[in-house]
Amino acid sequence: MRRLATFWLRYRRNRGAVAGALALAVILALALLGPILYPTDPFDMVGRPFSLPFDRFPLGTDVAGRDILAGILNGGRVSLLIGVLASLSATIIGVALGAVAGYYGGRIDDLLMRTTEFFLCIPSFVLAVVLVAIFQPSVVTVTVAIAVVSWPSVARLARGEFIAHRDREYVQGCRAIGMPDWEIILLQIMPNALPPIIVVSSLMVATAILTESGLSFLGLGDPNLVSWGYMIGVARTVLRTAWWMAAIPGVMILLTVLAINLVGEGLNDALNPRLRKR
Amino acid sequence: MRSTGILSLAMAALLAGVTAGNALAQPKKGGTLTYTYHPEPTALSTIATTAVPVALISTKIYESLLEYEGAGLTPKPGLAESWTVSPDSLTYTFKLRAGVKWHDGKPFTSEDVKFSIEQIALNYHSRGRTYFGNVAAIETPDAQTVVLRLKAPIPYLLRAFQPSETPMMPKHAFSEQEIAEKKVRQARIMQEPVGTGPFKLKEWRKGSHIILERNADYWKPGKPYLDQVVLRVMPDGAARAIAVEKGEVDLAPTSALPPAEMQRLSKLPHLVASEEGSEGLGPIMWLEVNLRDKPLSDVKVRQAISMAIDRDKLVDVIWYGNGKPARGPIVSGNPNHFDASLPKFEYNPQKAAQMLDEAGYPRGAGGVRFKLTQNFLPYGEEWVRQAEYIRQELGKIGIQVETQSLDMGGWLKRIYTDWDYHFTSNFTHNYSDPTIGVQRAFISSNIRKGASFSNSMDYRNPRLDELLLKAAGMQDGPERKKVWNEVQAILRNDLPVIFLIEIGYTHIWNKRVQGLITNGISMYTNWDSVWIQ
């Protein structure tokens, strides 16, 4: 309880982070509750195409007469879901590989790190495009593709943390009493190594949302689901006649990514006490 | 008083100007017509490929034996001054025009005609076999006479002599080696054309433009009116639209602009947007349905699907008004074969749902009767929007549709080689005769693995096969029309494909361009009568 209180005290000091958390809460609430409170199907042709915002429909209609507000609410769900799931899976993969590599060192480290470097040296967006194109776009393949291109940075970070901790006295103490390796990794080092990883993976959510938007914009999103990137892709061809159609989902992506970055900053301040007096 | 006098004088002058303007419907010589299309042609002959950009430009350079008038393509004399058909329809005799010269100055003779059909069209044109497969022999009794002897009647033979379909090529421009080694498509003439047409190649700067200039020795006296025809290559759709809007480009043929831009430009006072002039191509779009498995093998299900789609809405919203709801396999713009008594397909989702109930597919959990996967032709944005619309409408009658997106190669493989699909949007051309464009998709002998735009549905109807073969061997007339009417009725009822819309090709041009629309293949004619005001 006290730890949580000190965490909040530290977090609160960063005003931007508080604003980001608020904005993120609002966006999450919209994505979760929006489709329930505003149950229009985002693919339904509800009215005349190209109708202006604040006319018959709150945010107007798109090129095919579909309600843009419904698209924003449902698209938020998809964008956030893919963002969170992809970054969560990337974190799990990255931490697992990084922990093993960092803890054991030697050949295992070499093998795992060369593999990681292999992924790091390919531009991540290009690799994601290739993966989705090969495995056909669907919500699962897009999430997996984003996770696959995102884990290497987490792995490098986790490895660094584990190397720093593996020869500390408390770890040596654990070894001396005969604690098995998995217990040392999971229960002893992990809690100490986790704070910087949490920061990185929270920022990764933002990158994942951007990657998903990029894929959808290129027409490589799940064709059965609306996402913000898809909405921009649809509006792209009519940018000269109806700029707002692309601007609305664009602003949503901007706000979400900004909010997540601010929250990540706040987490960094709160979880890394060494940096807190920057 | 005086000011009124001046005013009325001005009015009179204005009126005179207006009437003069009308009387001035007399063609004017000179000027340049600039058009834009993307992509750039890969060659300057439809023998290399019949792709739209190639056909657009090469038809100004090459001519065929005949010219055509009106949407129904009534044959008129062209390089052939006159022709006769024997009563048994097995012998066609063409009298060639005297004094016609190739762009290099050599005379055009019956030998060139024989060569163009036997060696070139038959072997290299993608529809050459359909047109000339039944030709037994071509005789050239003298330099101005060509006689085609047929094994069986070819009812559409007189429509085969279009500049894009059977271009006349100069025999002397090909080496014997090119013919013997089947290297015709690599011949130099594919890039440096020598035709008989009203325009000849002046300059081709790849990636930028092609300039055709007036052929001063053209056989029609006083023609062409234009000094030059210029193709400007512009890869970006928005840039093409701006060029047309600003008047830098006079013409954007065959839907050369993005639909949203076409809609915007069609409202501008100085531009004309028209769907006329492509009746001879007859583009039609449908949902191709795999009939191998249940539930799509059930005709009731297909009829319900057909009834669940609002074709008017598709045309208006997805295609920005470019097109018409289809009423059967033959496009309504084809006056010779379309059965005008056919009604529109009914749109009635309630009835569609009821039909599915009756057919034994009750709604299950979540209102879903059964699930299907759909593919779509990967030709661009509109095709995706259409797939989304169809998924939505079918969802309302309890058919849960999942959309799968594939690239062109993957699509062709899945539909025509693997036959592994439920339904997909597809788009083909009727061409000038249903035997050329319609038969191939529905005749059971064309259920061939790997053959694109064939009968991928596995549709087998012996009665229809019989009718299609019968029509292929008949001369056009009321009897043949009756056969086609029955074909249309059968296909409308069986729905081996769900006919959706006749996609319109929209041509947009500046009002100063005159005389552009002359027949059903207006963009594929030689533009010798086009002029600039």
Q: What is the pLDDT of residues A41-54, one digit of tens each?
A: 898 888 878 888 88
The confidence band for B20, taking pLDDT boundaries of 50, 70 and 90, is very low
Query: Where do the structural domains in chain B lie, given as residue ranges?
Result: 32-40+189-279+506-532, 65-178, 283-503
Burial of B104 (0-12, 13-18, 19+ CB in 10 A): exposed
Contact A64 B258 (CB under 8 A): no
Residue length, chain A? 278
Q: B246 in contact with A at a CB cutoff of 8 Å?
A: no
Q: What are phi and psi of B67, to 5 degrees?
A: -120, 165
Contact B403 A223 (CB under 8 A): yes
How far apart (Å, rounded) are the C-alpha atoms in residues B501 and B513? 30
Contact B238 A65 (CB under 8 A): no
Count of CB atoms within 10 A of residue B120's CB?
22
Per-residue confidence (pLDDT) for residue A275, from 0 to 100:
55
How far apart (Å, rounded) are the C-alpha atoms in residues B50 and B59? 11
ipTM of the complex: 0.74
Q: DSSP label at A61? A: B
Per-residue confidence (pLDDT) for residue B23, from 0 to 100:
41
Q: Is the dihedral of CA B239, B241, B243, B246 positive or negative?
A: negative
**Cis omega (within 30 of 0) for bond into B434:** no
**Domains in chain A with CATH codes:** 2-42+58-275 (1.10.3720.10)
**Residue in B with minimal Cα distance to A221:** B405
Contact B405 A136 (CB under 8 A): yes
- From A64, A136, A219, residue closest to B318, measured CB to CB: A64
Greatest mean pLDDT range, A5-14, A49-58, A80-89, A215-224:
A80-89
Contact B381 A237 (CB under 8 A): yes
Contact A43 B407 (CB under 8 A): no
Q: Is the distance from CB of B445 to CB of B465 less than 8 angstroms?
A: yes
Per-residue confidence (pLDDT) for residue A273, from 0 to 100:
62
Per-residue confidence (pLDDT) for residue B2, from 0 to 100:
42
More confident residue, B472 or B496: B496
Q: B268 in contact with A at a CB cutoff of 8 Å?
A: no
A-B contacts at Cβ under 8 angstroms: 47
Structure tokens belonging to residue B231: 């193709």
Nearest to B153 by CA among B491, B490, B477: B477
Q: Is the distance from CB of A73 to CB of A26 less than 8 angstroms?
A: no
- Could you tell me how far CA B211 lies from the centroid of its own chain? 24
CATH code of domain B32-40+189-279+506-532? 3.40.190.10
A 8-67 residues with CB below 8 A of B? 41, 43-45, 49, 63-65
Helical spans, DSSP H, in B257-361: 259-266, 299-308, 311-313, 349-358
SS (H, E, C) B440-465: HHHCHHHCCCCCCCCCCCCCCCHHHH
Greatest mean pLDDT range, A232-246, B61-75, B448-462:
B61-75
Q: Is the distance from CB of B37 to CB of B53 less than 8 angstroms?
A: yes
Q: B111 in contact with A at a CB cutoff of 8 Å?
A: no
Is the pLDDT score of B7 beyond 50?
no
Residue length, chain B? 533
Residue to mutate among A224, A226, A232, A245, with most B CBs inside 10 A, is A224
Q: A238 in contact with B at a CB cutoff of 8 Å?
A: yes
Contact B405 A45 (CB under 8 A): no
List the strands of the sheet with B80-85, edge to edge: B80-85, B91-96, B145-150, B135-142
Is the pLDDT score of B6 beyond 70?
no
Return the SS3 of B35: strand
- Could you tell me how far CA A213 lies from the centroid of its own chain? 12
Percent of chain B with pLDDT strictly greater than 70:
95
Nearest to B345 by CA among B480, B491, B159: B491
CATH code of domain B283-503? 3.10.105.10
Average pLDDT over residues B33-55: 88
Distance from the A72 Cα atom to the nearest Cα atom in chain B, whole angstroms: 17
Average pLDDT over residues B386-408: 91
Contact B403 A224 (CB under 8 A): yes
In DSSP terms, A214 is beta-bridged to none
Average pLDDT over residues B73-95: 94
Question: With contacts defined as CB-CB under 8 Å, which chain B residues touch A64?
Answer: 317-318, 385, 388-389
Helical spans, DSSP H, in B459-522: 462-472, 478-494
Q: What are phi and psi of A99, to 5 degrees?
A: -65, -50
Q: B48 in contact with A at a CB cutoff of 8 Å?
A: no
Nearest to B65 by CA among B105, B104, B109, B120: B109
**Residue in A with minimal Cα distance to B385:** A64
In DSSP terms, B212 is beta-bridged to B201, B229
- From A43, A45, A219, residue closest to B317, measured CB to CB: A45
Question: With contacts defined as CB-CB under 8 Å, which chain A residues touch B318?
Answer: 64
Nearest to B113 by CA among B127, B134, B92, B130: B92
How far apart (Å, rounded) are the C-alpha atoms in residues B488 and B485? 5
- From A45, A219, A237, residue closest to B389, measured CB to CB: A45
Q: DSSP label at B212? A: E
Q: What are phi and psi of A61, to 5 degrees?
A: -120, 160
The confidence band for B531, taking pLDDT boundaries of 50, 70 and 90, is very high
Q: What are phi and psi of B286, to 5 degrees?
A: -145, 170
How far apart (Å, rounded) are the C-alpha atoms in residues B442 and B460? 8
How far apart (Å, rounded) are the C-alpha atoms in residues A208 and A215? 10
User: pLDDT by residue (tens digit) across A173-214?
Assistant: 999 999 999 999 988 898 888 888 988 888 899 899 999 989
Asked: is B65-178 a CATH 3.90.76.10 domain? The reply is yes
Q: A241 in contact with B at a CB cutoff of 8 Å?
A: yes
- From A43, A45, A241, residue closest to B313, measured CB to CB: A45
